[in-house]
């Protein structure tokens, strides 16, 4: 007999009315195309978690961009998710050009290649969700990262990553720090934690109300990045998408409860989405 708790009621938040639901004339390309950049052959799991979350979030087509040596490993571990290989930043940029959103950072590697890959993606029209290694690799030189960003791009740091990019700002408090960081980066900032703070460069700030300790498990952040990407790929406003994803992510974890691992989160999302679907 299941001991899982039920999904709670939909929150009374502005983003609920702006969730991207498909209509009768939709097809997979019109539902949005999400790309996820994989790490090397021993570091493909994070990209697969992010990609599966993006697919569950409703993106019509999700493709993992994998370095040549990692592509066969990724291809053997996914089904509905597509795979393309690249061997240079320029090749990655060409692959990403038709995509609506791209996640870069989960297990991408703390090397200059990650900075070159991000720069190539910054020259495309895709909304970027920048996470994990793609944040840390710019430690001590954050302006190099910010110069590649647009106002609809999204940074998703935990406090350690935040401090590397915005040293000293956390002393102001999390809300003020996220707001200031968003202004400095000129992009949306989602500061992860028990009370995740989301800030946009136009001054909007929100605090996610349903944080849960079940999310303190490896890979959960990769799922969040993919979930944001899946919503943004469907042309949801970046700030709204970050707010919605933070709530859904936590609600999926709360629904599953004890024993949660990151792989469980995408599988819990259909129940969360069903509770939000307008009747």
190, β-bridge pairs = 198
CA nearest neighbour of 59 among 215, 245, 255, 221: 245
pLDDT computed for residue 12 by the predictor: 65
Tokens of 198: 């989301």
Q: What is the Cα–Cα distance from 77 to 74, expressed in whole angstroms?
A: 5
Residue 106 burial by CB count (10 A; 0-12/13-18/19+): exposed, middle or buried?
buried
pLDDT computed for residue 7 by the predictor: 45
Domain boundaries, the chain: 28-273
Tell me if 203 sits within 8 A of 182, measured CB to CB: no
Beta strands in 87-150 (DSSP E): 101-104, 127-130
pLDDT computed for residue 13 by the predictor: 83
| Close Cβ partners of 80 (under 8 Å, ≥ 6 residues apart) | 55, 62
Instruction: Pick out the chain residues at pLDDT < 70.
Output: 1-12
pLDDT computed for residue 10 by the predictor: 54
pLDDT computed for residue 135 by the predictor: 98
pLDDT computed for residue 279 by the predictor: 77
What CATH number was assigned to the domain covering residues 28-273? 3.40.1190.20
pLDDT computed for residue 62 by the predictor: 98
């Amino acid at each position: 007999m299941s001991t899982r708790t039920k999904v709670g009621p939909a929150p009374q938040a502005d983003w609920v009315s702006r969730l991207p639901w498909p209509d009768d004339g939709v097809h997979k390309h019109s539902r949005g195309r999400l790309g996820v950049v994989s790490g090397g052959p021993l570091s493909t799991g994070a990209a697969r978690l992010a990609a599966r979350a993006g697919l569950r979030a409703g993106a019509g087509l999700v493709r993992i961009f994998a370095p040549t040596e990692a592509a066969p490993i990724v291809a053997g571990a996914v089904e509905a998710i597509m795979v393309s290989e690249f061997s240079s930043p320029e090749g990655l940029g060409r692959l990403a050009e038709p995509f609506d959103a791209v996640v870069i950072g989960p297990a991408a590697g703390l090397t200059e290649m990650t900075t070159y890959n991000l720069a190539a993606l910054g020259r495309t029209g895709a909304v970027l969700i920048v996470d994990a290694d793609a944040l840390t690799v710019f430690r001590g030189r954050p302006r190099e990262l910010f110069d590649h960003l647009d106002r609809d791009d999204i940074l998703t740091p935990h406090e350690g990553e935040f401090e590397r990019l915005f040293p000293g700002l956390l002393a102001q408090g999390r809300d003020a720090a996220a707001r200031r960081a968003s202004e400095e980066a000129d992009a949306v900032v989602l500061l992860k934690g028990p009370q995740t703070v989301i800030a946009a460069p136009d001054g909007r700030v929100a605090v996610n109300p349903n944080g849960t300790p079940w999310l303190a498990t490896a890979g959960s952040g990769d799922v969040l990045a993919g979930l944001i990407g899946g919503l943004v790929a469907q042309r949801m406003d970046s700030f709204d998408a970050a707010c919605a994803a933070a709530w859904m992510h936590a609600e999926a974890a709360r629904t599953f409860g004890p024993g949660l691992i990151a792989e469980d989160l995408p599988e819990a999302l259909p129940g969360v989405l069903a509770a939000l679907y307008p009747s």
